[in-house]
A and B are shown apart, each in its own frame.
Chain A
Amino acid sequence: MFSKNFKVVQPKVFEQFYDIVDKKDNYILIKIDSAMICKADIRYYNGERDKRILGMKYPMSLIHEAIGTIVKGDEEKYKVGDRVVLIPNFVSEKHDKNKCKICSDKKLGENYCEEAKFSSSNVDGFSREYIAYPSEYVLKLPQRELIDEYVFLELISVCVAAIRRYGDIYKENVAVYGDGILGYIMASLLTFVFKCNVTVIGKHKEKLDKVTFAKTLFYGEKISRFNIVFECVGGKGSESAINSAIDYIEVGGSVVLMGVSEEYISINTRKVLEKGIMILGSSRSSKDDFAFAIECLDNIEFRKSIKMLIIDEVEINDIKDFYDAFEREANNKNIGREILKFNF
């Protein structure tokens, strides 16, 4: 069957395509219901990557945060009408995960495998009507009414992955650098699910004001000592955030880097050595992280805090609505996101 699809073909230009979508063995057919635009999508939309790389990627369907409904399932696990979240990173079924050192390492997982594909980065994303997707890379959502908070599962799973990679964090003294959406979700997860004592450090009052569940500090204010820091800043700002974290962290503490920076940054390695600091990088997540993220949304307080991130629900009826949504997100200075309801 045919599936309408919007692809970015050059900076600031989308075109409408029709793909032929057929269910293959071990795949299921999904109607995409709701989705969200990520800052990585905005970078492709604005053309904010190396020209040579962009030349290899365009045309590409964007969006990797989405939930949908199964329209053609498989006999065993999924039936028509099941609501699912799509896991954007996967490895091909030809790749033997059991034999692969990276894929079979529980701490790392397929996300770090060289064979891994990530939707809307090195394969087409979810900005389409229907998609045929490997059944191994979807997870069934609780079958109650469709709840918009589930669209945030990818971001939540990224936070879950970072915590998992760090290790036992229950009731620890934690700082989160960054007052953007990732910092907010990380702080909320640490507060409500992991019962940590959390301080969020940021630069924007209006964003910090949204963090009502944890202590907040302006960047530059006197900061007390922490055992663990999650850096959720990214971009150019990550340099000062990481160096501040190195300054204030306890001896033997850990800094988990989660923000993406396109540029090289300088960090104070002398202090890292002097304090014996552990630095760990964690960005994407695996299927188990998504499964745990779904469980986390059963925590009422956590779900309420995620709901606060929904700026609006917007119906996407055609390519014009899609453009408008990207323009709004590109200029969005708020901490929340719009939920896009696909109806095209």
Chain B
Amino acid sequence: MNVAIILAGGTGSRMGVVDRPKQFLDVYGKPLIIHTLEVFNIHRNIDTIVISCNKEWINELNIWIRQYDLEKVKYIVQGGETRQESTFNALKSLEGICKSDDIVLIHDAARPLVSTRIIDDNLKLMKESIAVDTVIPATDTIVKSEDGVEITDIPKRKELYLGQTPQSFKFSEIVHAHKKAIEDGFYDSTDDCQLLLRLNKNVRLVRGDKMNFKITTFDDYTLFKAVLKMGKTEVKSFV
């Protein structure tokens, strides 16, 4: 079984929108999260979807799930204080349902332009891996500064990638990694692959896509709307 976990627990504090988190903003008549869910819902190799959702929005989300006929969404769990906790809550809901070899794909609700190709590539590589991360090569030079004042290091760009989602795991491996992190008092992971790396497990790379960007700031939102506006251009004549 292949399960998609969609993380929608964020508050969208960096968006500057006061009444709703970014994943619930309206984009051409639909909440952003619905656009993301639709990609997974119609994917032929995704069997079940679990959403980890900001508590105040669970009722609203339940209504949308029915309204937009997202039949693969089986569980909505309450999100946590951190990303790590939100993911773990979703994983807990799958205990007793998933087998150890089942695959979970963890994806940010605020990345609506994830493509079928990226999901396919994740699933394909998972046939021979225990964990897979979606990345794109860094094109800008990455500068490290420990104090935000002076440069500490400029790592080699060709060794650097930017992490995206989905990140995919064997169910038993990611559950174990989360439990071990809690046991070790490690609570602030911003990325699930990090939890496996702590345990010296191998994580393989899948090519992402620049367009699979996360809508985090208002600038991202503006860019996203501009991308969609271009798509509305149609053939003008019947010549």
> In B199-239, which residues have CB < 8 Å from any A CB?
209, 211, 227-228, 230-239
Instruction: Judge whether A57 and B235 touch: CB under 8 Å.
Output: yes
Query: What is the size, in residues, of chain A's interface with B at 8 Å between Cβ atoms?
Result: 33
Determine, out of A122-130, A225-233, A253-261, the stretch whose residues face the partner at the interface.
Answer: A122-130
Instruction: Judge whether A123 and B116 touch: CB under 8 Å.
Output: no
Instruction: Determine the distance from Cα of A20 to Cα of B42 in the docked complex, in whole angstroms.
Output: 14
Instruction: Judge whether B239 and A122 touch: CB under 8 Å.
Output: yes
B38 an interface residue at 8 Å Cβ cutoff?
A: yes
> In A230-287, which residues have CB < 8 Å from any B CB?
none
Instruction: Determine the distance from Cα of A69 to Cα of B43 in the docked complex, in whole angstroms.
Output: 11
Instruction: Determine the distance from Cα of A318 to Cα of B117 in the docked complex, in whole angstroms.
Output: 9
Instruction: Determine the distance from Cα of A335 to Cα of B201 in the docked complex, in whole angstroms.
Output: 51
Instruction: Judge whether A122 and B237 touch: CB under 8 Å.
Output: yes
Chain A residue numbers with a CB within 8 Å of B43 are 71
B113 an interface residue at 8 Å Cβ cutoff?
A: yes
The one of B115, B231, B233 in contact with A344, judged by C-beta atoms closer than 8 angstroms, is B115
Instruction: Judge whether B116 and A17 touch: CB under 8 Å.
Output: no
Chain B residue numbers with a CB within 8 Å of A81 are 44
B101 an interface residue at 8 Å Cβ cutoff?
A: no
Chain B residue numbers with a CB within 8 Å of A60 are 235
Instruction: Determine the distance from Cα of A108 to Cα of B162 in the docked complex, in whole angstroms.
Output: 56
Q: Residue on B with the closest CB to A118? A: B238
Instruction: Judge whether A18 and B227 touch: CB under 8 Å.
Output: yes
A59 an interface residue at 8 Å Cβ cutoff?
A: yes
Determine, out of A1-9, A146-154, A165-173, A174-182, the stretch whose residues face the partner at the interface.
Answer: A1-9
B120 an interface residue at 8 Å Cβ cutoff?
A: yes
The one of B39, B233, B235 in contact with A2, judged by C-beta atoms closer than 8 angstroms, is B39
Chain B residue numbers with a CB within 8 Å of A80 are 44
B112 an interface residue at 8 Å Cβ cutoff?
A: yes
Q: Which of B39, B117, B231, B236 has the most CB of A within 10 A?
A: B231
Instruction: Determine the distance from Cα of A145 to Cα of B136 in the docked complex, in whole angstroms.
Output: 34
Instruction: Judge whether A5 and B39 touch: CB under 8 Å.
Output: no
Instruction: Judge whether B113 and A2 touch: CB under 8 Å.
Output: yes
Chain B residue numbers with a CB within 8 Å of A19 are 231-232
Q: Residue on A with the closest CB to B27? A: A20
Chain A residue numbers with a CB within 8 Å of B112 are 2
Given that A1-B42, A71-B42, A71-B44 are contacting pairs, would A31 and B116 also be in contact in the complex, using a CB cutoff of 8 Å?
A: yes
Instruction: Judge whether B116 and A343 touch: CB under 8 Å.
Output: yes
Instruction: Judge whether B230 and A17 touch: CB under 8 Å.
Output: yes
Question: Secondary structure at chain B's binding surface: helix, strand, loop or mixed?
Answer: loop
Size category, B interface: 20 to 34
Instruction: Determine the distance from Cα of A53 to Cα of B236 in the docked complex, in whole angstroms.
Output: 10
Instruction: Judge whether A20 and B238 touch: CB under 8 Å.
Output: no
B35 an interface residue at 8 Å Cβ cutoff?
A: yes
CB distance from B215 to the nearest CB of A (A): 13
Q: Residue on B with the closest CB to A125? A: B235
Instruction: Judge whether A59 and B117 touch: CB under 8 Å.
Output: no
Q: Which of B39, B227, B228, B238 has the most CB of A within 10 A?
A: B238
Q: Residue on A with the closest CB to B40? A: A1
Instruction: Judge whether B237 and A57 touch: CB under 8 Å.
Output: yes
Q: Residue on A with the closest CB to B69? A: A72
Chain A residue numbers with a CB within 8 Å of B39 are 1-2
Instruction: Judge whether A20 and B234 touch: CB under 8 Å.
Output: no
Instruction: Judge whether B115 and A4 touch: CB under 8 Å.
Output: yes
Chain A residue numbers with a CB within 8 Å of B235 are 56-57, 59-60, 122-124
Instruction: Determine the distance from Cα of A318 to Cα of B207 in the docked complex, in whole angstroms.
Output: 11
Instruction: Judge whether A344 and B228 touch: CB under 8 Å.
Output: no
Instruction: Judge whether A56 and B113 touch: CB under 8 Å.
Output: no
CB distance from B26 to the nearest CB of A (A): 13
CB distance from B146 to the nearest CB of A (A): 37
> In A54-112, which residues have CB < 8 Å from any B CB?
56-57, 59-60, 69, 71-72, 80-81
Chain A residue numbers with a CB within 8 Å of B238 are 117, 122
Instruction: Judge whether B228 and A18 touch: CB under 8 Å.
Output: yes
A29 an interface residue at 8 Å Cβ cutoff?
A: yes
What string of 1s and 0s marks CB contacts (under 8 Å) between B105-124 and chain A?
00000001101110010000
Chain A residue numbers with a CB within 8 Å of B227 are 18
Instruction: Determine the distance from Cα of A72 to Cα of B72 in the docked complex, in whole angstroms.
Output: 12
CB distance from A233 to the nearest CB of B (A): 24
A317 an interface residue at 8 Å Cβ cutoff?
A: yes
Instruction: Judge whether B116 and A59 touch: CB under 8 Å.
Output: no
Residues of B that sit less than 8 Å from A by CB: 28, 35, 38-39, 42-44, 112-113, 115-117, 120, 209, 211, 227-228, 230-239
Pull 8 A–B residue pairs with CB atoms less than 8 Å apart, ordered by A.
A2-B35, A2-B39, A18-B231, A20-B231, A53-B239, A57-B237, A318-B209, A343-B117
Sorted nearest first, the 3 A-B pairs with minimum C-beta distance are A1-B38, A56-B237, A71-B42
